[in-house]
Amino acid sequence: MIEFLEGNDAVVRGALDAGCRFFAGYPITPATSILTGMMRAMPEAGGVAVQCEDEIASIGMCIGASMTGQKVLTATSGPGMSLYSENIGLAITGETPLVIVNVQRQGPATGSATKGADGDILFMRWGTSGGLPLIVLSPESVHECYTLTRAAFDLAERYRVPVILASQKEVGLTRERVDLDEARAAMPPSRPRDAAPTDRPYVPHAFEQPDDVAPLSPIGGPHLLRYTTSMHDERAWLTGDPAVISRMMEHLRRKIDDHADEIALFDHDPDVGAKNLVVSYGITARSAREAVARVRAAGGRVSLLVLKTLFPVPEAAIRAALIGIERVVVPEMNLGQYAREVQLFADGREVRSVTRMDTELVSPDDVIREGGLL
Amino acid sequence: MSYLDEASLPLPFCPGCGHAKVTHAIDEALQILGRPKERVVVVTDIGCVGLTDRHFDTNAFHGLHGRSITYASGIKLADPDLTVVVVMGDGGAGIGGAHLLAAARRNIGICVIVANNFNYGMTGGQHSCTTPSGGITATCHLGNLEAPLDLMGTLRPSKPGFLARTSVFADDVPALIARGLATQGFSLVDIWDLCVAYYAGQNTLTRNSIADMMAELEMPAGVHFEGGRPEFARAWRDLYHPAETADDEGMCLLPPDAGLAPVAESILAARTGILIAGAAGQKIRSLATVFGAGAIMSGLHATQKDDYPITVMTGHSAAEVLVSPVPIVYTGIEVPDVVLILSEEGRARVARKLAKLPPESRVYVEASLGPVETQARVIPLDLKGAAKEVHRLAVGAVGVGTILAAEGIYPLEAFEAAARRLQKQKVADTNIAGLRAGAALAG
Ligand SMILES: Cc1ncc(C[n+]2csc(CCOP(=O)(O)OP(=O)(O)O)c2C)c(N)n1
Ligand SMILES: [Mg+2]
């Protein structure tokens, strides 16, 4: 069925189809329509959706509900992401599957409430204490608001980790022609939550290899569940033993970082003989696509890498795309954030950051001109 | 059957700390209630008191400072049949005050035990929201200037399920906790407690003087409230979940719908950016959605972005619609091809863009607004006059009808089909009549 939908509507549909049956949120432009959309959708689906007293309660309720076995979602924008910060760390250490949608607005602080930016890209990765990894995906279209929301739920279950969908006003509140039935038909069924075997004692954070992920047994289910914000061993008991802590840090890091290739979602569009590569993501990827098409139409050569997974950084994809390339152009709607990640693999190549944070889109012309592509 | 993990004992508290008594009282209360351990969750806050969950042989959740009520609420909302106990300090009650108030107002069925020792024990005895005026702590060594929070008095107006105050030295602690646990809605037991490491010594608070302190502060022990409001997690389901019907099998989440399948064909050759600028109340956003949907129903691609203030019925309301015979990659409109101005507010909003328009662009403007400062071709039209014949709110539809006819973007019938598809019949009728009047105006 062809529809004319906003990105936020597609997030709601994606969450429903992923099996999400719990939502808690707090109103904030430009994310509010996810809250109201979930309030409308949950009752029919047999789920629960509540407006909380603040964003801290929203994510807290989601974490609690997730530990009872529900797939959970919360949605906000920059100011609310700041309030989520401490609980994102809790979800990481407690290995709680959780999907967060950050419909970014131009910031800092209250910023331009109704205008877009990608100013939270590094904040989403590094915005909680401890520095341990989580997963960040970035949709460039209404269609991807659906498919990447589905993917976010699957990844959250697979790795027992918070997954953030880095949307923004220009995606979340732009209406586009989409066919979600087609999108649904092209996707595998959503991943159910793994059940823990009942014939042996349950160890909530068990792992043999550091990157193993234990199945989650729900609160109220067949096992007694222990959960703690404090540094713990595999049984979720407090520990001060450096050897145990070291193993736990390895586990929380490597269950994500060792699987970066599996988590990596991207489009690589190489141009034979191109010396320039454009790396982009989110709404700006569309400007990059248009710029690349114009350069090629004018007889120029340029390759394109569009990243849908931002964290863990798809290192292998970036390295592969860099082969034969002399210069990398990274357009983004901030003052140059992801360009720093790309720089890590540039091996002396010039990395040119094309930035804009005045609430306007980076235009294809900006990419061509400031990127020096023609 | 004890609900404590015997192997984990003894409890880790300072000798004489009331937290041990609180822990054992919770165990006793759980024994009175007798629920299966799998159906009990002990959620603890941060602080010395947050060390207790480790010693319970139930589900145990130790969360962030002040946020225990939020996890407990999420757990209860997701599985209303669980018995959910929160154990927090006076510190947690202070930093998480908003959650305390919200939980009591919701009347969510969690039982909150506040081990109230009048200071932050774990961080070395700083003052909390319950430190009495004049109390000496590490952060008010000349005496506390703040007034203490009365948990009973604060929460009573919310009419939750059960509110009681006692002290660790009273005999009724397990019984009061058991009553809290048995309560359907929100319950809280405020247990006055001795912090032997910090508060008690510096303030000569003893087993015997706690009763005097209650009298002095006019915060007596006892049951302070019992209410019968419906419990939130169940009430939410009762209110919002549709009544089960015999034939709800195979019910899909969204009604079956033909969507925006094409009904006409557009001959539009190139991507065209249209800016519709009007006033709040002119239904610009829904009109732009129907306009874009009409494009889709004639085989085109479309995007729409709105621009409006948070107020209603005052100020501007504008929308950008991009239509294209090929999929739209870049969603920005660098140079609008067509601008439709319906009101003064709209004109002011797009003035910067008008000033930059090239001569090839077309500006359709309500004639009464007077001259427009732009290099583009300006086409003044009596949109309001034409709308008058139809409906006060039809001026936007008249404008769109004019553009569709004059610019040949797509056939009128596609707009009409889109209006029928997306709008209530009366609104669609008005818009279709407006559209036709506009098309006639374009000649
Ligand atoms: C956000 C945050 N701020 C500060 C702290 C440090 N902290 C740990 S315990 C505590 C006070 C606990 O006091 P209370 O809740 O009364 O428990 P008690 O130790 O007295 O039992 C504080 C401030 C923290 N853990 N988290
Ligand atoms: Mg205390």
**If DSSP states are collapsed to H, E and C, what string results for chain A?**
CEEEEEHHHHHHHHHHHHCEEEEEECCCCCCHHHHHHHHHHHHHHCCEEEECCCHHHHHHHHHHHHCCCCEEEEEECHHHHHHHHHHHHHHHHCCCCEEEEEEECECCCCCECCCCCCCCHHHHHHCCCCCCCCEEECCCCHHHHHHHHHHHHHHHHHHCCEEEEEEEHHHHCCEEEEEHHHHHHCCCCCCCCCCCCCCCCCCCCCCCCCCCCCCCCCCCCCCCCEEECCCECCCCCECCCHHHHHHHHHHHHHHHHCCHHHHCCEEEECCCCCCEEEEEEHHHHHHHHHHHHHHHHCCCCCEEEEECEEECCCHHHHHHHHCCCCEEEEEECCCCCHHHHHHCCCCCCEEEEEECCCCCCCCHHHHHHHHCCC
Any ligand 1 atom below 6 A from CB of B48: yes
A182 pLDDT above the threshold of 90: yes
Average pLDDT over residues B216-243: 96
Q: pLDDT by residue (tens digit) across B346-355?
A: 999 999 999 9
Q: Across residues B314-323, what is the average pLDDT?
A: 95
pLDDT in tens, A237-260: 999 999 999 999 999 999 999 999
What strand order describes the sheet that includes B316-324? Answer: A2-6, A175-179, B301-307, B316-324, B272-279, B338-341, B362-366, B377-381
% of residues, chain B, pLDDT over 90: 93
Q: Which residues pair with B87 in a beta bridge?
A: B44, B113
Q: What is the pLDDT of residues B110-159, one digit of tens each?
A: 999 999 999 999 999 999 999 999 999 999 999 999 999 999 999 999 99
- Atom index in ligand 1 nearest the CA of residue B94 equals 15
pLDDT score for B244: 61
Residue spans of alpha helices (H) in B183-266: 199-202, 209-217, 232-240
At the top level of CATH, the class of B6-235 is: alpha beta
- CA-based nearest residue to A204, from A219, A214, A193, A194: A214
Q: Which amino acid type is present at position A62?
A: C
- pLDDT class of B252 with cuts at 50, 70, 90: very low
Report the candidate in B221, B177, B141, B201 with the shortest Cα–Cα distance to residue B16. Answer: B201
Question: By alpha-carbon position, which residue is closest to atom 2 of ligand 1?
Answer: B65
Q: What pLDDT was estimated at residue B443? A: 80
Q: Which amino acid is at B68?
A: S
Region A71-96: what's the mean pLDDT? 98
Check if the interface score ipTM surpasses 0.85.
Answer: yes
Mean pLDDT of the region A82-96: 98
Q: Report CA(B351)–ligand 2 centroid distance (Å).
A: 60
Sorted by where each begins, the domain ranges of chain A are 2-185, 266-371
Helix axes A55-66, A78-93, angle to 10 degrees: 30
- Does the pLDDT at position A117 exceed 60? yes
Tell the CATH topology of B272-442. Pyruvate-ferredoxin Oxidoreductase; domain 3 (3.40.920)
| A residues 241-270 lying closer than 8 A (beta carbon) to B | none
Tell me how far apart the alpha carbons of residues A268 and A265 are, in angstroms, rounded to a whole number: 10
- For ligand 1, is residue B139 a contact (CB within 6 Å)? no
pLDDT band of residue B255 (cuts 50, 70, 90) is very low
Residues 6+ apart with CB under 8 A from A323: none
CB atoms inside a 10 Å sphere around CB B313: 8
CATH superfamily label, A2-185 = Thiamin diphosphate (ThDP)-binding fold, Pyr/PP domains (3.40.50.970)
**A45-54, A285-294, B49-58, B246-255: least confident range:** B246-255
Find the CB nearest A170 among B58, B260, B331.
B331
B182 three-class SS: helix
Mean pLDDT, range B167-178, rounded to an integer: 98
**Rounded distance from Cα A21 to ligand 2 centre (Å):** 36
Q: Where in chain B is the domain with CATH 3.40.50.970?
A: 6-235
pLDDT score, position B258: 76
Averaged confidence pLDDT in chain B: 95
* Chain A interface disruption, residue of B245, B329, B421, most A CBs within 10 A: B329
Q: How confident is the model at residue B254 (pLDDT cuts 50, 70, 90)?
A: very low
- Separation in Å, CA of A15 to nearest CA in chain B: 12
Buried b (16+ CB within 10 A) or exposed e, A307-338: bbbbbbbbeebbeebbeebebbbbbbbbebbb
CATH number of A266-371: 3.40.50.920
In ligand 1, the atom with minimum distance to the C-alpha of B19 is 21
Q: Where in chain B is the domain with CATH 3.40.920.10?
A: 272-442
| Section B327-333 average pLDDT | 98
For residue B136, give the 3-state DSSP assignment: coil
Report how far ligand 2's centroid is from the alpha carbon of B94 (Å): 10
* Residue A188, Ramachandran bin (φ over 0: left; ψ between -120 and 50: alpha; else beta): beta
A2-185 and A266-371: same fold?
Answer: yes
CA distance B141 to chain A (A): 31
Q: What is the pLDDT of residue B256?
A: 52
Token match 């305390």: residue?
Answer: B100
Cβ contact (<8 Å) for B304 and A364?
A: no
Q: Can you give the pLDDT at residue A125?
A: 98
Q: Which atom of ligand 1 is nearest to the CA of B88?
A: 15
Q: Which of A27, A67, A82 is nearest to A50 (CA)?
A: A27
Mean pLDDT confidence for B281-293: 96
Shortest alpha-carbon distance between residue A123 and chain B (Å): 21
Ligand 1 proximity of B89 Cβ (cutoff 6 Å): yes
Give chain B positions within 8 Å (CB) of A22.
74, 77-78
In the predicted model, is pLDDT for residue B249 greater than 70?
A: no
Contact across the interface for B332 and A53, Cβ inside 8 Å: no
Q: Where are the alpha helices (DSSP H) in B79-219?
A: 90-95, 97-106, 151-155, 173-182, 199-202, 209-217
A237-246, A313-322, B249-258, B284-293: least confidently modelled range: B249-258
